[in-house]
Structure formats: C-alpha cells, structure tokens
Structure 1
Amino acid sequence: MPRERKRLSGGLPLSDLYSQVLAPMAAQRPSATALVSHDEGGQALSFRELKRLADSIALGLERAGVGPGARVAVAAPNCIGFAAAVFAVAHVGAALVPVAPLLRPPEVAKLLADSRPQLFLLSHRLPVEARAGFSAAAQGVRKALLADGSVEDVSSEPVRGDALNPPGTAAVLYTSGTTGLPKGVVLTTKNLVSNARASAEVLSRLGPGQDVFTSILPFFHSFGLTTGLLLPLLAGGCALLFTSFSPRAFLRGAAQHKAAIMLLVPEMYRTLTAVAAAGAAGEALLPALRACVSGGAALPPQTARQFEGAFRVPIHQGYGVTETSPVLSISNLLEPPIPECSGEPIPGVELAIVDADGNELPAGADGEIAAAGPNVAAGYFEREELTAQRFRTLSLSGRPPKRYYLTGDVGHLDERGRIYVRGRMDDMIVVNGLNVYPSEIANALGQFPGCVEVVVGRVRSEVHGQEPVALMVLSEGSAATEEQVKAFAAARLAPHKVPAQVLFVPEILKNPLQKPLPRQMLLGMGLPAC
C-alpha cells in the first residue's frame, strides 16, 4: 500500500479521485460490479477488486519514483488497467496526463515535451509497434509498462523533480489541437468530481437503478474520463468498457451486458443507426436501453430522428468543453428533446451569453457562451497569458463577480435558460458582412434525399469575403448534382447561406474524437479554406 497521506499542506483534508470516488464506493458497495471490459473477454471487477488493483499500481508508481505533485503520462485504450491507473495516480498524489493511443510518435514527443511527466506508462494493451514508437518518442522520460495490476520494466532515466503540480491537481488533459498546437487543460479533483456528481444528479431523475453505462469514449478526453468512468462509479452503476469502436461489436456488447445509459458522439449514433437499418430491429438489439446522451459536437436532427426510429429511445443533446470538465448542460431527460437545444445547465453551473466587451446579452441574442461553476478548470498548463484571456472574472448584470470560462462558442439562451449552440466563433462564415453558421446549413442539407452525412466549411472569396462550401456523402446507389443540392438549399435557407459549392466525397475526414475536419479536406482539394 502507498504510504498514508492524511492531509495536504495548510491542514486541508486529502482530496483526490481515489479518496473521493473509488475508496468510498469500495467501502459502501464492495461486491457490486464496477467495471466490465467487453474487449478483455468480458472481465468484470467489483469495487473492492478495482480498489485492490489501483492499490497495486500505486505501489508500483511509488517504487518507480512517483510521489505527490508529479505528473504521470499514460497511453492506453479504455481497459481495466487504465481505469485502475486513473485512481492509482491520484492515490500517490500525482496528476494524470492521458496520451491518445492514436497519436503519432512526433505528436507524442511534443506532448511530453510540454507536460514534462515524471513517468510515462505504456499499456501492454497497446500494439507492440505503437509501444515501440511511443517509447522512442519519449527521449529522456522515465518509462514503464502498465500491466493489468502492476508497473513493470521501469527504465533507467532519472525522475524529473521540477515544476510540480499544486495540491488538488487531478489531470492535465490536452485538447485535440485542430485549430493549433494542443493545450494542456489543468483540471482539479474538485472540477472532475463536482461535474460527475452533478451529471449523476441529472441522470437520477430517470428513477432508481444500478445502470450499466457504455464507456467507449476515450479516457484521454474529458467527455470519456468524466462520463465514461467517474460518472458511472459515482452513480453506483457499472462502466462497460470498449477498447475501440466497431458498430456491430459495440451493439453486441451493449446488448449482452444490458447497457442502459449510452453516452456517445453524433457520428457513433449515425453509424449505429446504419447498422440497425441493415439488420435486426432496434428494440431487439438493446432492450435495456433507457437513456442516450450525445456530446462532443452538434447532433444533426436527422441523426436524432433516425436513431430514435431504429432504437425507440430519443437522443438527448449535451454541451460541454474540456475546460469545464466537460459537462455544462443536458436536455431534460423526462421531456422530448428539442432539436438543436442542449438543455439547461446542470446543477452548480451558470451559463451566460456575452458580447465582445464582456457584457451580458438578453435571452435570444447570439453571443459568446461563458460558463461558471466548480467544474471550470484551473487554467492552461504553464500558459498564464492564455489563461488570463480565456478565464476571466466578470460581474454580469449587477451580480457579484464570478470567474467564467469564455468558451469561444456562439449561442443563445431562451427564456427558460436553455442553451442553443450555434458553433465555434472561429468557424463562423461571414458572407457580405452577414454571419452564417455552418451547422445551420448542414442541418438543412442533411434532409436532402440520399444524404448520409454532410459538413460545411468556408473558403475565401474576392467578391463576398467568405463563402460556405458543403461536403456531402451520398448513400450507395444514390445520385445527385450540385445544382439539385443548391436548389434544395435555396428553398430552405436565405440566399447568402446557400453553399457556393457542393462537393460529393466518399467520406468525411474526422479527428480521433470523430469531429469532422472540413478545413483540412478543403485544403487537401486545393481550395482556399480559411
């Protein structure tokens, strides 16, 4: 067992993910199932067994020289070893730095150079070639193999002792970096636990139940870490782990283990619907399913309609960002979802809409979404200037000053305080001085007959400043012309919103979190994307 750490500096009680989440649940429900790993032969662990596994890994971390204030990088799929390591790292007083297994070695090298971990754990569940590439990229960093219950083969590099974390730091999560170099978001135990507990409170409105939660969203992202691991455990449920996403295998596993709560990104819901349409009826596939939540990107209305038609369960839209741990809002689970509405803020969260000067805007007015609450991150890792820009203390409409995170997303609140997210400020298309939101165009074009998927990007225009360009995937056997799609759009959108071009493509390029990358696609086609 790691040495006992009763108190942090200043006499404050110990607070980490191990003591706040795992240890209490292991004491309250020791024999209840905490995890089931579908892709590891269906292996199941009780809360008591998960705690023992975390204790064993924590002991190995201490032997490898990891202690309070350190950072531990972990590269692993969603497996039992990674889940246990999350709590083991916390138990020794260190902070987790997840490394996405899909990164290439040069990207790993940059992340490690920025985060400067004291140890880099490489899961034995990674392909051998991936482990070798990651290990080679980690020059000067002490490395070790993360087995299911142990830390093995510790390399000989010295343990760094500089720039330790302040007490309470739980994780440094790196953003996807689609608009620039990835940034490390510093999340505290309070951030993550308060967010998971508030989300559990929202789900409790469905009524009592020891639910099985699908846990396929990667733990290297806040959506996966919070809603795929911490939320199920704090809610007294079970996390059903998948190491990778294969629609048919996922449906088989979810049905076999009676998944009740599904948390996915829109693209996953779309592909599940396609599989259901090609096979058995949805109600036979997931008989225990009782709630679905989508996040990570805007949920196209046609995806929501088609999924509900196949599985007889509606998809509720959530909204959040890494810097808020991540959940900010979820639509009312007891009411039919409203298209394009992400619901009310979860307990403890405040959302406001502000203009460029930080003034609050009234209901119905579009502006930048600002968020406050215990889930708002400490800031960006060693980026004080950027932290000061994005995390600001504002006094809105005469209320006492409060620390807000400026999300960079555009949206508005309705009279009931429900949030409608338009999209990223950086993605807005300005046509002849008029703001155009890509999601609005995509939602309209998504209804075109034969359209499987569509995204909208922007290009420079000498005449209009900027113009929208649609990238569309048609179903097998479907045919359409650019003129037909434009005519369809013109009947549903104002003239300045009709795409200047419609390009038919075999597939939409996406990042590891299944977010579309229209700019990269347009640049690859030689178009002046901006």
Structure 2
Amino acid sequence: MEKPWLTHYPREIPHHLNYPDKTLPDYLRETAAHFGGHEAIYFLGKTLTFREVYEQALILANYLQQIGLQKGDRVSIMLPNCPQAVISYYGVLFAGGIVVQTNPLYTEHELEYQLNDSGATMLITLDMLYPKAAKAKAKTNVKHLIITSMKDYLPTVKKWLYPLMQRKQQPVMVKVEERSDQHLFSKIMAQPNATEPSVEINSAEDIALLQYTGGTTGVPKAAMLTHRNLIANTLMCAHWMYRCDKGTESILGILPFFHVYGMTTVMNLAIVQAYKMILLPKFDVEATLKTIEKLRPTMFPGAPTMYIALLNHPDLARYDLSSIKVCISGSAPLPVEVQEKFEKVTSGKLIEGYGLTEASPVTHSNFVWDGERVKGSIGVPWPDTEAKIISLETGEEAKANEIGELVVRGPQVMKGYWNQPHETENVLRDGWLYTGDVGYMDERGYFYIVDRKKDMIIASGYNIYPREVEEVLYQHPKVQEVVVVGVPDEYRGETVKAFVVLKQGQQCTAEELDQFMRSRLAAYKVPRIYEFRTEIPKTAVGKILRRALLGEERKKE
C-alpha cells in the first residue's frame, strides 16, 4: 500500500526496523551486562542499579518456579509504580509466566473478574491491599499471594517513618502472616543470588502480557501481547526519539506500569535503552513539580490531564522544568493550547501520539525534532506500521480527508483477545486492527482523530464529534478541563452537553461560554447544556472517564 507519510520521515528514523529474536528478559540481561552499575531506578530516595534489578528478578523467578509456576501460567501484578513492580514484571517473564497487569484501585468485584477470566494462579500485591487480595483469592484459582510493602524499598530513615505515614492513610495496620500460600517479598529477596531459569520462549508466539481493556465495545477483555509485540513497539519508540542517548537519559515514571502506555514508554523503554527511571507511585502535582526541579528528568511521557494540572498550578513559575527534552502525550486527545503552553514552560517538545492497548500501544505520533509537527494531528504511523481509513458508509478505503474508521497493521498488534475468539474476529481482519476510532488522513499522510466511533453525537441528523467541541472550549481562558457528551433529547434525538472545570479562582456562566462557542462553531455543534464541576472522573493513567459521565446522565432518565 502507499505510505505517503514516509516522505516526511527525517533521515534519522528508518522506515523499517530489525526485530531480533529476543524476549523482554533478554534485554534486561544485556542492559545489566553493559550498564550494570548505572542507576536503573530512583524511588523516593532509594536507588537500584540495573545489575540489582536483574539479580532480584532472577531471585523472584526461581522462587516462583519453586512454588509451582509453569510456563504459560498467569501471574497478576497489582502494584503502583515502585521497584517491586519492575522486579515482579521481569521476574515473572524470566520464569516463563504471563504477566496480568492489575489496577490496585480495582474493587473486589473487578479484581475477582480479572483473576477468574485470566486464570491467574499467583498474585503479587501490597500489604495495604492484602484484605482485598485475600478475599479475591478465596473466590478464584489463585493459589499463592506474594505480599510486599512500600517500605521494603525505602531509604532507612523513611523505613522508620513508614508505619506512622501508613497509619495516617490506613488507621488499621495490616499484618500479613507468612505461610505456605502467603509469601513475603522481602524474605524472597533475602535469598542468595540465583541463576536464570531455563525456559524456552518463542518471542513471536509466546504471550508475555494479558492487558485488560474495554477495547472497542466496553466489555473487559484481555489483549494477548507477545514478547515480539512489546519489543517491537519499544524499539519503534527508541528510534522515534533518536536524540535521546542510550545510557544517559532519565525518564519520569508517573504513568502507571499496570497500563500498557506506561509499561512500554517508561518501563520497557528504560530497560532496553538503559535509562534511569524516576518513579512516583501516583500523580501529585506538587510532588511532580518538585521532582522535576530536583532530579532533572529529560523525558516525561504523560497524559493531557497531567500537563493541564501542572500548567494550572498557582506556583508553576517557581519551578525549573527546563530539564525536560521530550514528552509524548497519549491516552487522550492533547489540546493545542496545552501543547503550546507546556513547550513554553519547559523549552522541551510535547508531541501528541496515538495508540491503543491492542497495539502495545503506540501506532502514530508527531515528529519530535526534525520533520513537521501538525497541530491537532496524531502525526504519522511509526516504522513498520501501516494505517488507513475505512469509509463508514461503503466499508472501502476512504479518500484523503474523508472521515472513516482508523485501521492499523504492524508487528505491535496483538494476537487477539484472551479466550474471546468472537471479539477477536470483530477487530482483527486480515491482520488489520479495527480501532473503533473515527478520523481521516490528509493528502500528505498525516492522521487526525475526530472521536471514538461510539462517542459520536447525532443531533438532528448531524454528526457531531465531541473532540472538535472540546478543542474550542479549551481555548476559553477560564476553562481548565472539559468533556463533551451526547445526552438524549426528545426533539434532536441527542443534544450536546459539556462538563466544565474552571481554572482556580475563575468564575464563568453558561451564557458566557455559549456566546464564546457560537462565535467559533456552527450552531448545531454548540453545547445546549453546561454543567460546572470541581473535577472530572479519570482513570489512574489520567484518561477521562467519559462513560462514567454518560452513566450519570442515563440514571437521570
């Protein structure tokens, strides 16, 4: 197929990459061999070298095999960003297991569903999550719990203070007993250094990860991502950021590793490229600003909501953010206003990318340095990635600038959904992944997303794309965050509603916003209803929960 975007590639980015027949653990071994003494992780004052991460991953891998892990067994990792999350991920893979990334914020019901659906036989989690984990264990196939504590990887002084800090957050202290089906991470790590387990892994075929997603239908299901899928996307990322030097960069790890975006663009990239990971267990605006000023990370993958929150901090001007060279924004559309302001503050580059769990996750982004960056565009496909637009009306490939569904194909695309052949057939056709996102490609090969297929609003027969309306609302000087949805309307079928969070200290009326919007959009696209809020619900990665807001609206009917 024609790939007009390749003509825009700077000479530093190859059109095609070679993907070695390696596994993810192979890269950790190699990095430990060549950069063993380099800092791999900085976590709240504690540092680990690449050699230490490698050795501890091997200790865990051997222990998992001792308690019964066989090749292909699933192990759930329910941890925030901390050293244990990295060690556990690679330890499971060294042992031949399949990682099941699990959100620590899951309710008991969500946790039970994921453990049962994946068939996980082991669960690695925090002591403060132990009560939830123990209840889930009784209702699932989980045979072993491995429990760690945040204090296990804190500096000495912070270890002493940790019990006091934990009592503030969780008045009832959790004490975990060691027994045949419950194991303490700290005790495991006290064992002697271990050799690599002997496990034959086919990089192209063997699954490394089950990553749960709503996918294109909203039903929780697991994308089966192989070692090759994840390695391919990580190598694409490394080549895209060709001015970032191996073994010298430091990357801010706020995006959660239990989300594939953080896993690829922070954790796996750092292991492959020997970058130092500066980990924060959750996103806190003040802590993030202080960390950037003090520790000087050069790379900061994030989500638009993170950049918006930083830009709207009242004391932003007090912090030096000039160390940031590059940020790739994903998980949600990046408003142009946010991109421009963040680049002024940091003097670095903030580019919009696009991806989805089923593609490990990145398929497109704008160029960072050389090559044209197009505002409002998700950029062009990454090396070895094909993309096209399929007409919503004819099902044929669309012409330039014609709106349709984005489909992609490449070595980062999943094998399919775990135990869901029908769902797999719906989204994987002749190797093409049907994303469920609506967009278009211009004559030069730059792609644009106008919205999710299912989020499109049809009012009085007109197709309205929430993202277009949101982009205009973000231009209003008093608006900090916004979500636009379609709500039932007796006359129009659906009408446009905007949920708005104002900047701190600002006041605004619906009439003021209406007047602003009518001067910039066709009348049928202008919101008819405005609801002002102090915050908008988000996922752990900062993705706005549009479905939660729609659910609230349905309850009103």
Give me the TM-score of the superposition, normalised by structure 2: 0.83
Q: Which residue in 2 is equivalent to 1:141?
A: 142
Distance 1:205 1:306 in 2: 23
Q: Which residue in 2 is equivalent to 1:514?
A: 542
1:155 aligns to 2:199 (yes or no): no
Distance 1:287 1:480 in 2: 33
Which of 245, 255, 263 matches 2:283? 245
- 1:401-427, Cα deviation, whole Å (9 max, x unpaired): xx1110000111222222211121010
**Any idea what SS the aligned residue of 2:317 has?**
coil
**Any idea what SS the aligned residue of 2:105 has?**
coil
Distance 2:178 2:308 in 1: 41
Q: Report the alpha carbon displacement of residue 478 of structure 1 after superposing the two structures with TM.
A: 2.6
**Any idea what SS the aligned residue of 1:218 has?**
coil
Distance 2:554 2:295 in 1: 47
1:344 aligns to 2:377 (yes or no): no
Q: Which residue in 1 is equivalent to 2:191?
A: none
Q: Report the alpha carbon displacement of residue 445 of structure 1 after superposing the two structures with TM.
A: 1.2
Structure number with the bigger relative contact order (C-alpha 8 A, sep ≥ 6) is: 2
| 1:401-440 equivalence runs, <5 A | 403-440=431-468
- 1:312-356, Cα deviation, whole Å (9 max, x unpaired): 334110110000000111211115743211111111111111124
1:235 aligns to 2:290 (yes or no): no
Q: Report the alpha carbon displacement of residue 373 of structure 1 after superposing the two structures with TM.
A: 0.5
Structure 2 residue identity aligned to 1:204: Y
| 1:120-519 equivalence runs, <5 A | 120-122=123-125, 126=126, 128=128, 130-139=129-138, 140-147=141-148, 153-155=179-181, 168-175=206-213, 180-205=218-243, 210-275=248-313, 277-282=314-319, 284=320, 286-334=321-369, 337-356=373-392, 358-393=395-430, 403-519=431-547
Larger deviation, residues 425-434 vs 259-268? 425-434
Q: Which residue in 1 is equivalent to 2:9?
A: none
1:91 aligns to 2:94 (yes or no): yes
Q: Which residue in 1 is equivalent to 2:42?
A: 36
Q: Contact 2:57/2:87 (CA < 8 Å) preserved in 1? A: yes
Distance 1:271 1:378 in 2: 36
Larger deviation, residues 184-193 vs 450-459? 450-459
- 1:98-149, Cα deviation, whole Å (9 max, x unpaired): 1100111111011111111121122xxx352x22112211224112224469
- TM-aligned CA distance change 1:26 to 1:410, over 3 Å: same
- TM-aligned CA distance change 1:262 to 1:486, over 3 Å: same
Q: Contact 1:214/1:241 (CA < 8 Å) preserved in 2? A: yes
Structure 2 residue identity aligned to 1:185: A
Distance 1:289 1:312 in 2: 8
- TM-aligned CA distance change 1:193 to 1:445, over 3 Å: same
Q: Contact 1:16/1:93 (CA < 8 Å) preserved in 2? A: no
Distance 1:442 1:152 in 2: 52
Distance 1:63 1:207 in 2: 39
Q: Report the alpha carbon displacement of residue 465 of structure 1 after superposing the two structures with TM.
A: 1.6
Larger deviation, residues 330-339 vs 505-514? 330-339
- 1:46-67, Cα deviation, whole Å (9 max, x unpaired): 2211110100110111112002
Structure 2 residue identity aligned to 1:470: A
- 1:141-196, Cα deviation, whole Å (9 max, x unpaired): 112224469x9755189xxxxxxx99511000111579633111100000000100
Q: How many residues align?
A: 490
**Any idea what SS the aligned residue of 1:53 has?**
helix
Distance 2:107 2:548 in 1: 18
Q: Contact 1:269/1:307 (CA < 8 Å) preserved in 2? A: yes
Distance 1:127 1:495 in 2: 54
**Any idea what SS the aligned residue of 1:264 has?**
coil
- 1:296-327, Cα deviation, whole Å (9 max, x unpaired): 00011222233223323341101100000001
Gaps of 5+ in 1: 1-12, 158-164, 394-402
Q: Which residue in 1 is equivalent to 2:169?
A: none
Distance 2:511 2:491 in 1: 21
Q: Contact 2:328/2:350 (CA < 8 Å) preserved in 1? A: yes
RMSD: 2.5
Q: Which residue in 2 is equivalent to 1:60?
A: 63
- 1:18-43, Cα deviation, whole Å (9 max, x unpaired): 12x201111222222222223xxx22
Q: Contact 2:270/2:276 (CA < 8 Å) preserved in 1? A: yes
Structure 2 residue identity aligned to 1:318: G
Q: Report the alpha carbon displacement of residue 441 of structure 1 after superposing the two structures with TM.
A: 0.4
Q: Which residue in 2 is equivalent to 1:80?
A: 83
Q: Report the alpha carbon displacement of residue 477 of structure 1 after superposing the two structures with TM.
A: 3.5
Q: Report the alpha carbon displacement of residue 232 of structure 1 after superposing the two structures with TM.
A: 1.7
Distance 2:266 2:504 in 1: 34
- TM-aligned CA distance change 1:305 to 1:447, over 3 Å: same
Q: Report the alpha carbon displacement of residue 517 of structure 1 after superposing the two structures with TM.
A: 2.6
Larger deviation, residues 488-497 vs 131-140? 131-140
Q: Contact 1:37/1:241 (CA < 8 Å) preserved in 2? A: yes
Larger deviation, residues 342-351 vs 258-267? 342-351
Larger deviation, residues 29-38 vs 362-371? 29-38
Distance 2:209 2:496 in 1: 38
Distance 1:255 1:475 in 2: 24
Q: Contact 2:352/2:366 (CA < 8 Å) preserved in 1? A: yes
Distance 2:215 2:425 in 1: 19
Q: Report the alpha carbon displacement of residue 236 of structure 1 after superposing the two structures with TM.
A: 2.7
Q: Report the alpha carbon displacement of residue 439 of structure 1 after superposing the two structures with TM.
A: 0.8
Q: Contact 1:195/1:226 (CA < 8 Å) preserved in 2? A: yes
Q: Report the alpha carbon displacement of residue 449 of structure 1 after superposing the two structures with TM.
A: 3.3
Structure 2 residue identity aligned to 1:322: T
Structure 1 residue identity aligned to 2:407: A
- 1:348-390, Cα deviation, whole Å (9 max, x unpaired): 1111111245421122111111111100000000000110110
- TM-aligned CA distance change 1:68 to 1:432, over 3 Å: same
Which of 117, 121, 124 matches 1:118? 121
Distance 1:371 1:425 in 2: 15
Gaps of 5+ in 2: 1-19, 154-176, 184-201
Distance 1:527 1:486 in 2: 26
- TM-aligned CA distance change 1:177 to 1:358, over 3 Å: closer
Distance 2:231 2:341 in 1: 34
1:48 aligns to 2:79 (yes or no): no
- 1:446-471, Cα deviation, whole Å (9 max, x unpaired): 12231121110111122112111011
